[in-house]
């Protein structure tokens, strides 16, 4: 039997390559809408993050998708906020999960921009209303024609159920995508409502890469509709190694960052997923050189803290 192994390997490789380039021979194409400009937290460098005025500004500047984060308050309200601990946003040790929505403080005047360590967003001329926490339902109501990317920040089935109800009540299943870096939370999302778009969790992303590099990916169905990846090379910059940087990637060894960046940014992988109707979105990019690299690799869209900067860049290319 061993003499047949080389023939099997050659045959397998040929079929895998054909399906890699033509995945719809085996899989139905997904129906995700591809977008270019995604406002990370609404544009955290151009407004108070995750607030309605900031979202409005981003949409007016061309954002086709808003990326946001959700927490569950003490009175079971779905609050839009990246941090449960309000130390960074409000300057005091308080948790959204321990506070009723109506009792949440205003965001403080100056807050750090997570993906631009050392820089803060501050605008003294804006009203207190611009620093008010908002609700997921308010976002869906105010922006009925905008795609919404929902990052579930708590491993909590009650939060997943509450988000699903809000999305369904607003007939927004087809324009929302949700999930989490956590595999457990993302699994909960999929079980709760598989009709809402789903991005890859960290464990599923690792599985995807293993399937891709072993040639098995073209044969395997995927439940996810969006491939959202970091550009790990940006974390090689010294600013991400600062002690006050909250992004943990910046603390990883440089060799690990470089290897993982190489493995993730394969144009053939991105093209294959696009052919299956799965857009690749890269986060969080704030410089033109980063925009250029992501688009050159075939990424459909970019998450940025600077929607106006990305808009100007896309107008030039």
pLDDT in tens, 28-37: 999 999 999 9
pLDDT of residue 250: 87
Contact 202, 176 (CB under 8 A): no
Given a cut of 90, whether residue 86 has pLDDT beyond it is: yes
pLDDT band at 8 (very low <50, low <70, confident <90, very high): confident
- Read off the pTM: 0.95
* Pairing state between β 78-80 and 65-72: antiparallel
**DSSP strands (E only) in 35-107:** 37-40, 65-72, 78-80
pLDDT of residue 242: 86
Give the span between the Cα atoms of 250 and 247, in whole angstroms: 6
User: Which helix (H) or strand (E) is 111 found in, with range?
Assistant: strand 110-112
> What single DSSP character describes residue 36?
S
Give the span between the Cα atoms of 26 and 15, in whole angstroms: 11
| Rounded mean pLDDT, 222-226 | 98
Burial of 189 per CB tally in 10 Å (0-12, 13-18, 19+): buried
pLDDT of residue 246: 87
Question: The domain 2-316: what is its CATH number?
Answer: 3.20.20.190
pLDDT band at 125 (very low <50, low <70, confident <90, very high): confident
Burial of 266 per CB tally in 10 Å (0-12, 13-18, 19+): middle
> What single DSSP character describes residue 176?
E
Both tokens assigned to 38: 């995604």
What whole-number percentage of the chain has pLDDT above 90? 91
| Rounded mean pLDDT, 168-189 | 98
Task: Give the least confident one: 25-29, 79-83, 303-307, 313-317.
Answer: 313-317
Given a cut of 70, whether residue 2 has pLDDT beyond it is: no
| Rounded mean pLDDT, 272-301 | 98
User: Which residue pairs from 157-164 have beta carbons closer than 8 angstroms and sit at least 24 positions apart in sequence?
Assistant: 157/188, 158/72, 158/76, 159/70, 159/71, 159/72, 159/78, 160/185, 160/188, 160/189, 160/192, 161/192, 162/72, 162/76, 162/78, 163/70, 163/78, 163/136, 164/189, 164/192, 164/193, 164/196
Query: What are the tens digits of pLDDT across the range 287-310?
Result: 999 999 999 999 999 999 999 999
| Rounded mean pLDDT, 69-98 | 97
Given a cut of 70, whether residue 53 has pLDDT beyond it is: yes
Given a cut of 80, whether residue 5 has pLDDT beyond it is: no
Backbone angles phi, psi at 135, to 5 degrees: -110, 150
Q: What is the mean pLDDT of the chain?
A: 95
Give the span between the Cα atoms of 157 and 230, in whole angstroms: 26
Given a cut of 70, whether residue 4 has pLDDT beyond it is: no
Given the structure tokens 């955290």, which residue do they identify?
A: 44
| Rounded mean pLDDT, 194-222 | 98
Q: How many CB atoms lie within 10 A of CB 232?
A: 19
pLDDT band at 51 (very low <50, low <70, confident <90, very high): very high
| Rounded mean pLDDT, 77-97 | 97
Interacting residues of 256 by C-beta distance below 8 A, sequence separation 6+: none
Give the span between the Cα atoms of 157 and 81, in whole angstroms: 18
pLDDT band at 187 (very low <50, low <70, confident <90, very high): very high
Given a cut of 60, whether residue 1 has pLDDT beyond it is: no
């Amino acid at each position: 039997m061993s003499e047949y192994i080389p023939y099997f390997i050659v045959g397998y490789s040929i079929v895998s390559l054909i399906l890699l380039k033509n995945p719809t021979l085996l899989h139905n194409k997904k129906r995700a809408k591809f977008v270019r400009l995604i406002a990370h937290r609404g544009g955290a460098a151009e407004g108070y993050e995750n607030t309605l005025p900031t979202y409005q500004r981003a949409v007016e500047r061309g954002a086709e998708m808003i990326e946001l984060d959700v927490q569950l308050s003490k009175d079971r309200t779905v609050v839009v906020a990246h941090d449960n601990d309000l130390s960074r946003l409000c300057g005091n040790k308080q948790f959204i999960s321990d506070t009723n929505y109506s009792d949440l403080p205003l965001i403080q005047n100056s807050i750090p921009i997570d993906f631009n360590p050392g820089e803060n967003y501050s605008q003294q001329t804006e009203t207190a209303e611009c620093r008010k926490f908002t609700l997921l339902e308010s976002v869906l109501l105010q922006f009925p024609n905008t795609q919404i990317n929902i990052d579930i920040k708590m491993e909590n089935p009650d939060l997943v159920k509450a988000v699903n109800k809000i999305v369904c009540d607003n007939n927004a299943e087809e324009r929302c995508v949700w999930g989490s870096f956590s595999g457990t939370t993302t699994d909960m999302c999929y079980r709760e409502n598989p009709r809402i778009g789903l991005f890859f969790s960290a464990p599923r992303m690792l599985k995807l890469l293993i399937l891709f590099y072993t040639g098995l990916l073209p044969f395997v169905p995927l439940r996810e509709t969006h491939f959202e990846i970091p550009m790990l090379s940006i974390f090689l910059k010294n600013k991400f190694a600062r002690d006050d940087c909250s992004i943990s990637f910046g603390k990883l060894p440089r060799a690990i960052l470089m290897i993982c960046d190489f493995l993730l940014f394969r144009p053939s992988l991105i093209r294959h997923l696009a052919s299956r109707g799965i857009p690749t979105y890269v986060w969080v990019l704030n410089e033109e050189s980063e925009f250029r690299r992501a688009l050159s690799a075939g990424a459909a869209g970019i998450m940025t803290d600077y929607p106006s900067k990305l808009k100007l860049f896309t107008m030039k290319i």
